[in-house]
Amino acid sequence: MTISALKVHVRVNGAATLICPACGAVRNVAAERYRHGRHSITVRCRCRHVYSILLDFRRHYRKKTNLPGTYEILSEGGVGGGIIHIINISRSGLGFTVSGLHRIEKDRHKTSNVGGVAS
Ligand SMILES: [Zn+2]
């Protein structure tokens, strides 16, 4: 039998959410104590299923998402705004698509604020 480890992201507060692959039970664990040790731990669920997880301590975890919202150009000389669709997000930034006419260029680094994001 092969046990493949599930990758679990550890949040900034050191907590990790484990989901049992057998029954779907959600469990939160304090993973901080594993940060400087081994990252692979074995968990026994209340349904008695035993599974392995691999703790991911990466700081900038990029999470796929699907959030519609609006944006506004705040930089000097910029005007307008429009509809934005956020497709992934991490602590260091986000990926998005915009529709309509805009002057946002790809791969251009700029400081911007995104407002009005609906959840
Ligand atoms: Zn379970």
Residue span of the structural domain in which 47 resides: 6-56
Average pLDDT, the chain: 79
Q: Is residue 1 part of a domain?
A: no
| CA nearest to 92, candidates 45, 60, 52 | 60
Domain count, the chain: 2
Question: What is the spatial distance between Cα 45 and Cα 54, in angstroms, rounded to a whole number?
Answer: 16
pLDDT of 117 > 60? The answer is no
Give the pLDDT score at 3. Answer: 55
Give the pLDDT score at 101. Answer: 65
Give the pLDDT score at 17. Answer: 92
**How far does the centroid of ligand 1 lie from the alpha carbon of residue 20, in Å?**
5
Chain-centroid distance of CA 27 in Å reads 18
Shared domain check, 14 and 52: yes
Q: Is residue 14 part of a domain?
A: yes
**How far does the centroid of ligand 1 lie from the alpha carbon of residue 1, in Å?**
18
**How far does the centroid of ligand 1 lie from the alpha carbon of residue 28, in Å?**
13
Nearest-Å Rg of the Cα atoms of the chain is 20
Q: Between residues 64 and 50, which one has the greater pLDDT? A: 50
Q: How many Cβ atoms from other residues are within 10 Å of residue 55's Cβ? A: 21
**How far does the centroid of ligand 1 lie from the alpha carbon of residue 40, in Å?**
18
CA angle 70, 90, 58 (to 5 degrees): 175
Q: Between residues 6 and 28, which one has the greater pLDDT? A: 28
pLDDT of 108 > 60? The answer is no
Token pair 């669920």 is found at: 45
Shared domain check, 68 and 49: no
Shared domain check, 72 and 88: yes
Which residues lie across from 35 on neighbouring strands? none
**How far does the centroid of ligand 1 lie from the alpha carbon of residue 43, in Å?**
10
